[in-house]
Structure formats: C-alpha cells, structure tokens
C-alpha cells in the first residue's frame, strides 16, 4: 500500500499548478500603508481554486486572495508591513487562507439578492448570507452608484472598512441609500434604514445614529440590499465639531497601496482588462486592452475571433460576444496563451455616445466578415439588428447565408436567433432590404429540421413577406398551409388566419378572405360602446401623423385597428392609409400589392378612384411605367368625373 500512496502523492504533485510572482513593496523608509493590493496575470487553469503564500527574505508575509475568477487576474492583498521584494506563490494546491484580513481599505463583497424583505437589520443579514457571491472588489470609500462586481442592481453589497477616528467623542453616522441599508461599528449597530424605499427622507442624511468612539482605527461595516434599478449607497458622518454631515472621504480609511507584480520566471507575458463597453440593442460591445511585458516591438496578437492578428506591444480588440476567449501573444518564437474573460466595464459611467459606437461598429464591419468565427458573426449580427442604426446589417447577409449552411459553425442556437433577428430588422424601415430578409430566413429554414417554434415563426414571417411585399402569393400560402400550428403562440396562430385572408384577397377571392378574417376573431369586446370612437380617433390620428411625415407613428395606429378587427383589411379606410404609409417610406412594393388586393373588394365609388390614383403613384415610385399607365387608363375610363381623374 505504501507504493500506492507514493504514486498517488506523485500524481497529485504533478497535477498541481503553481506560479511564483515578485512584488515590489517599496523601501522600508517609505510610509507604510495598511495593506498592498496586486494583480497576478496567471496562466493557471483554475485561478478561482487557488490560494497564495508570500515571503520576503525567507520570512513569511501575510497575504490572501481577494478575488479570483476564470480569465481574470488573481487579486491579492498583502500585509502593508512588508518591505522590499515579496515573493508570492499562487497555486491550486495551496489552501486559501480565510482567517486573515488586513486592517485596511474598504472591501466590497457583492452577492445576488437572496429571498425575503429587508424589513430589519437581521433580515438584511439573512438576505446577504443567502445570496450567491458575484465578487469582491477593493473600493475607495462607501459611496456606490454601480455594482462593482457585475451587471445589474438586484444585489446585496457588504462593505467592510477600517476607518480612522482622529479624536474621541460622539460621532454621528448617516446612511443614504435607494433601498435597505445599515451601519455597524466595532460590531455595534449605529443606524439602520430597512425596507424598500427611495431616497426621500434620507438624501440629506436624516437617517443617522450616534456612537461614542475613541481615537484610532475602528472596524466599520455597511450593508446594502438593493432591489433592481440604479444603485445608490453612501456613508456620511458628522464629526463632534461639525454641524452638518459630509460624505466620508477616501482619506478617512486606512490606505491600501497598489503594487506591481511580475512573474519570477523570465520571458514574455501580458496583461489585459476591459477598456470600455457599451450596450447596443441590449447586447454588449466590449473593447479589451492588452499589453505585452518583457517583449520588444515585434509582437503579434492572435485572437479566437478568426480575424487577422494585430501587431505591437499593446493592442485593443472589439468583441461582440462576452465570455472566456483565447488570446495568444507571439514574440521571438515563443507563444504565451491565456484564457481571457471578455466582460463589460462595470465601473464605466454611462454608455459610449453615438459617434463612439459608430466608429467601433465601422471598425468591426470593415473586417473580413466571412472570416469571423461563427459565434462572433452571430453575436455581431444580433448586436447590429438590435441597434438603432442598422445600416451595416445588409453587408452581413452574404456571410450569414454562407455560414448558415453548417449549423454548428454559425453558433448553434445563437446562430438561429441571429438569422431570425436579422430578417426581422432587414425588412423593416428604413432598410426595407426585403430580398436580403428572404435570404437569411430561407437559410434558417434550410438548417432547421425540427418543427420547433423558431422554425415555424420564421416560416410565418417569410410567408408574410411573400404575400405582402414580394408578390409571391402562392409560395406564401404554401408556407402558411404547411405550418405546425401547435408550435406557435395564440397571437401567431391568429396571424396565420389573417395572412391566409390576405392571400385569398390578393387572389381575388373576397368571400374566402372575409371568412378567414372572421375566423381570426376580434380582440374587441362586443359590449364596448367606445370601440367606434376609438377606431375613429386612431384613423384621424394616422392621417395627422402622415401629414407630419411620421409614417411610423401612423403605421402603429393602423396596425392596432386591423389587429382588433381583421375584417377592416377589406375596407378602404385602413387600406388606403396603408398605401400612403408605404409611399411615405419610399417602399412602393407593399403599396402596390395592398392596393391591387383592395381593388378586388372595393365598390365602384370614389374610394376605388382614390385607390387607382394611389396605385399609379406607387407604380411611378417603383419605376413601373406600364403599371402606372394601366392604372390611369382604368381611372379615366371608370371614374372620368372624379377628383382623382384630374389630380396630379
């Protein structure tokens, strides 16, 4: 058995990963901080499992991991009494020491908010204890307007600090918070403001309590329980000699120095961090900064996004997809490879402005999009499809269609989502890229064998595109007839019946169209006597919005009317207004199809004359001279005395 134990011990030692780093803490003659903080840019596979040990001149130095996560540098706190060069060993076989904390600085620990209402300090502590830890961060003071360790504000944040009290006396502490908060000093509760609330009644420091303190250093604890939204948390004090509160400044806390670290082993290495980020359509666009160390000028950076490498000692790279990414530094025949956590910049105040976003999107769009890794191409397409300015989306279509042939290549489920979202955005104003929308939707259907909800939803919208824009009614009806209705939502199944009515009307079968519209039902209450007035108000509103050149607002009102009562699609009031909306958008194809379908249902009155006049205008806008001439010929023949026959 002894040999087995030796083998197991040897295997364990072989499997263990360790790195040694050197930290310059400064000369002994310099003023000593309470602690030092450093970051180790390790190559360890699982830094989150690691512990540290430290020594200087052969003597142990107190140290501990502040926070470590995959793809991020290991953050280490070191005893401020250490001087000179400290050797720090980090490894997954070193047990993390949770017993020592330096009596310095402000450490914030963020957790997801646990269940329950924070209606007392005890419940606040229970909610904090029940949450899942998001991270720890070294703060400058207890004054937070953002989550320092992640996105979102649905959190519990405990700030543990060592505060310097310059003189003995009665000190008043104030908590200012958007939701529940409380303060303890040396374990004694000083003030609490529990419950869900806003800043009213507390933003001037009204929530406060006093405590008798001796001069010296005291342990302070501030706890915040925040229910979503913007974070607002601050600690103020009123010293014995002051008349009004002030925010406790960073200088009031025992200082922590920032110390540089470097690997003990010679050779190239690099650092990284998010230099900025923004949100486009709810999705992150992240700029990461990379800096090489112990390298010369001939450095190449290779990333896993499929794009060509960058050169230079420093590099910046845009990512439309967050997560762990592979980055390689090439220098002098050596390669340094790291798994890098691409994430948003939590401490960045506000998103980039429109010009900054545009510059960065132009940079990405200017690359060889077909070379982009599938996951990155899908993420970029989703980002552009959700952005206010979608002008770059059509340029993505060839790459999306080409890469869609391999479902695994285009990011799997995210690739499906990207194809669907791109099609929806392409067909809408201002793009009106209907052929491109058809291409990406057909690509999505071709790679989908299963009759799932996304596949059926895509076929439904492609059918609508065929019927309403491209004039391929038979193809649209075939798609509608082949839909697996149970996979669709109630509203989508209702839309199927409406589109079947549109297809019948386009074919000239008014009775079948009416039957389909009626089968779709109505969302209006038969007892609602105000429906007629509401309908009239919407119609007048649509006309008014068109007069103001706001076609989008007019379209929303018309859509509401026809969704409430689909049979309205047979009448002239919404149909003629829709034609004007399409003409205002410079999108004549759907106007022509709508008017030609509407002419099957309209009686021979002045509304029919208006429809023919609009049809001629739409054909003119589309460059269809023969169609315009034919419409005007019928108008002159059937309605020679109408105002539309002589209207320019």
What would the pLDDT profile of 498-553 be if each residue is shown by its tens digit?
Answer: 999 999 999 999 999 999 999 999 998 878 888 889 999 999 999 999 999 999 99
Residue 223 banded pLDDT, cuts 50, 70, 90: very high
Confidence check: pLDDT of 7 > 80: no
> Edge-to-edge strand order for the sheet containing 133-139?
133-139, 106-112, 155-165, 216-226, 180-185, 188-193
Angle at 586 (CA atoms; ends 581, 590), nearest 5 degrees: 60
Confidence check: pLDDT of 14 > 50: no
Residues belonging to the chain: 648
Confidence check: pLDDT of 135 > 50: yes
Which one has a higher pLDDT value, 645 or 253?
A: 253
On the 0-12 / 13-18 / 19+ scale of CB atoms within 10 A, 626 is exposed
Percent of the chain residues past pLDDT 70, beyond the cut: 97
Q: Which long-range contacts (CB under 8 A, 24 or more apart) does 458-464 make?
A: 458/419, 458/420, 458/423, 459/483, 460/488, 460/492, 460/495, 460/496, 460/499, 461/423, 461/424, 462/423, 462/438, 463/499, 464/495, 464/499
CA torsion through residues 514, 515, 520, 525, sign: positive
Identify the pLDDT of residue 54. Answer: 96
Residue 15 banded pLDDT, cuts 50, 70, 90: low
pTM for the model stands at 0.87
Residue 450 banded pLDDT, cuts 50, 70, 90: low
Residue 317 banded pLDDT, cuts 50, 70, 90: very high
Task: Enumerate residues 6+ apart whose C-beta is below 8 A from 67.
Answer: 74, 75, 135, 136, 137
Residue 409 banded pLDDT, cuts 50, 70, 90: confident
**Average pLDDT score, the chain:** 92
- Strand 310-311 to 299-303 pairing: antiparallel
Identify the pLDDT of residue 351. Answer: 84
Q: Which residues of 491-505 are buried (b: 16+ CB within 10 A; e: fewer)?
A: ebbbbbbbbbbbbbb
Cα 295 from Cα 293, distance rounded (Å)? 5
Please compute the mean of the pLDDT values over residues 251-259 and round it to a whole number.
96
Cα 85 from Cα 237, distance rounded (Å)? 38
On the 0-12 / 13-18 / 19+ scale of CB atoms within 10 A, 150 is middle
Task: Tell me the Cα Rg of the chain.
Answer: 33
Please compute the mean of the pLDDT values over residues 76-99 and round it to a whole number.
91
Q: Are 233 and 224 in contact (CB under 8 A)?
A: yes
CA torsion through residues 241, 243, 248, 249, sign: negative
* Token pair belonging to 120: 């007392």
Residue range 575-610, pLDDT digits in tens = 999 999 999 999 999 999 999 999 999 887 789 999
Confidence check: pLDDT of 368 > 90: no
Percent of the chain residues past pLDDT 90, beyond the cut: 81
* Token pair belonging to 461: 């919208």
Residue 4 banded pLDDT, cuts 50, 70, 90: very low
Cα 392 from Cα 438, distance rounded (Å)? 17
CA torsion through residues 458, 460, 461, 463, sign: positive
Q: Are 564 and 594 in contact (CB under 8 A)?
A: no
Confidence check: pLDDT of 328 > 90: yes
Which one has a higher pLDDT value, 297 or 585?
A: 585
Cα 599 from Cα 566, distance rounded (Å)? 17
Q: CA distances (Å), 406 to each of 98, 367, 374, 397, in order? A: 49, 22, 10, 15
Mapping DSSP onto H, E and C, the string for 234-282 reads: EEEEECCCCCCCEECCHHHECCEEECCEEECCCCCEEEEEEEEEEEECC
Cα 199 from Cα 206, distance rounded (Å)? 10
* Token pair belonging to 405: 């042939």
Element (H, E) at 318: strand 314-319
Q: Are 592 and 619 in contact (CB under 8 A)?
A: yes
> DSSP class of residue 351?
P
Please compute the mean of the pLDDT values over residues 323-338 and round it to a whole number.
95
Cα 138 from Cα 149, distance rounded (Å)? 10
Which one has a higher pLDDT value, 5 or 111?
A: 111
């Amino acid at each position: 058995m002894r040999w087995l134990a030796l083998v197991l011990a040897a295997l364990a030692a072989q499997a263990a990963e360790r790195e040694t780093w050197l930290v310059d803490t400064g000369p002994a003659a310099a003023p000593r901080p309470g602690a030092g903080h450093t970051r180790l840019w390790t190559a360890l596979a699982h830094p989150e499992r690691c512990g540290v040990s430290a020594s200087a001149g052969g003597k142990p130095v107190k140290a501990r991991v502040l926070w470590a996560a995959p793809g991020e540098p290991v953050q280490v706190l070191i005893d401020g009494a250490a001087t000179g060069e400290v050797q720090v060993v980090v490894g997954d076989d070193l047990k993390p020491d949770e017993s020592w904390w330096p009596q310095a600085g402000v450490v914030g620990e963020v957790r997801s908010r646990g269940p329950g209402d924070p209606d007392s300090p005890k419940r606040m502590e229970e909610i904090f204890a029940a949450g899942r830890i998001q991270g720890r961060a070294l703060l400058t003071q207890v004054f937070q307007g953002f989550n320092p360790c992640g996105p979102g504000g649905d959190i519990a944040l405990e700030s543990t600090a060592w505060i310097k009290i310059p003189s003995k006396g009665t000190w008043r502490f104030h908590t200012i918070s958007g939701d529940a908060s409380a303060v303890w000093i040396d374990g004694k509760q000083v003030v609490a403001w529990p419950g869900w609330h806003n800043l009213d009644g507390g933003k001037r420091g009204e929530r406060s309590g006093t405590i008798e303190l001796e001069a010296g250093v005291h342990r302070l604890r501030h706890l915040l329980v925040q229910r979503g939204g913007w974070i607002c948390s601050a600690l103020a004090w009123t010293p014995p000699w002051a008349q009004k509160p002030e925010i406790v400044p960073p200088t009031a806390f025992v200082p922590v120095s920032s110390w540089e670290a470097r690997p003990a082993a010679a050779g190239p290495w690099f650092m990284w961090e998010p230099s900025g980020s923004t949100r486009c359509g709810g999705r992150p666009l992240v700029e990461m900064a990379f800096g090489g160390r112990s390298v010369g000028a001939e450095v190449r950076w290779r990333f896993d996004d499929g794009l060509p490498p960058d050169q230079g000692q420093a590099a910046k790279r845009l990512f439309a997809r967050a997560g762990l990414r592979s980055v390689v530094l090439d220098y002098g025949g050596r390669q340094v490879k790291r798994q890098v956590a691409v994430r948003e910049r939590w401490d960045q105040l506000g998103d980039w402005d429109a010009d900054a976003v545009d510059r960065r999107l132009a940079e990405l769009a200017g690359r060889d999009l077909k070379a982009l890794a599938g996951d990155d191409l899908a993420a970029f397409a989703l980002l552009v499809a959700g952005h206010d300015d979608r002008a770059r989306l059509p340029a993505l279509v060839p790459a999306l269609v080409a890469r869609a042939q391999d479902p695994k290549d285009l990011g799997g489920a995210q690739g499906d989502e990207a194809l669907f979202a791109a099609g929806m955005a392409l067909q809408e104003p201002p793009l009106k890229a209907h052929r491109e929308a058809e291409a990406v939707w057909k690509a999505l259907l071709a790679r989908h064998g299963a009759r799932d909800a996304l596949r059926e939803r895509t076929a439904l919208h492609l059918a609508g595109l065929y019927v309403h824009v491209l004039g391929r009614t038979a193809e649209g009806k075939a798609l509608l007839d082949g839909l697996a209705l149970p996979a669709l939502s109630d509203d989508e199944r209702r839309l199927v019946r409406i589109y079947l009515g549109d297809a019948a009307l386009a074919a000239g079968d008014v009775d079948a169209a009416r039957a389909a519209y009626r089968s779709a039902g109505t969302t209006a209450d038969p007892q609602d006597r105000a429906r007629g007035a509401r309908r009239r108000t919407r119609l007048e509103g649509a006309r008014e919005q068109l007069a103001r050149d706001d076609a989008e607002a007019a379209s929303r009102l018309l859509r509401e009317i026809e969704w409430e009562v689909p049979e309205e699609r047979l009448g002239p009031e919404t149909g003629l207004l829709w034609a004007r909306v399409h003409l205002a958008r410079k999108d004549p194809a759907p106007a022509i199809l709508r008017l030609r379908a509407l002419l099957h249902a309209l009686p021979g009155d002045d509304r029919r004359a208006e429809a023919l006049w609009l049809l001629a205008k739409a054909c003119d806008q589309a460059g269809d001279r023969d169609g315009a001439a034919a419409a005007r010929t019928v108008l002159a023949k059937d309605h020679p005395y109408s105002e539309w026959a002589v209207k320019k």
